[in-house]
Amino acid sequence: MSALLGLVSLALLVFQVLLIARAVLDWSVALAGPSMPGSARSRITRGVHAVTEPVLAPVRRVVPPLRFGGVAIDLAFIVVFFGIVLIRSLIG
């Protein structure tokens, strides 16, 4: 059972890293502008979004983004990230 919990914890850690990569890639658009189609950054962004969006989308339907004028804070991202932190702390 310990090995299974270790694998679950590792999978959750990998997903956390992908969430952090998603945040960095999303901010890179604001700082460096949109990526060129077919570029490495564009392909990585599509891959990270493909993996993380199936988890974030259902949470986003329940917890909509918090809006301040023209700025929106994605609360679903925060809820999922800290949910994973909580689950990992309970596992190990």
Domain boundaries, the chain: 2-91
Of 72 and 52, more confident: 52
pLDDT of 76 over the 90 cut: yes
Confidence of residue 1 (pLDDT cuts 50, 70, 90): low
3-state secondary structure of 36: coil
Q: Which two tokens mark 48?
A: 């990270």
Question: How far apart are alpha carbons 41 and 85 in whole angstroms?
Answer: 27
Beta strands in the chain (DSSP E): 66-68, 71-73
Q: What percent of the chain has pLDDT over 70?
A: 99
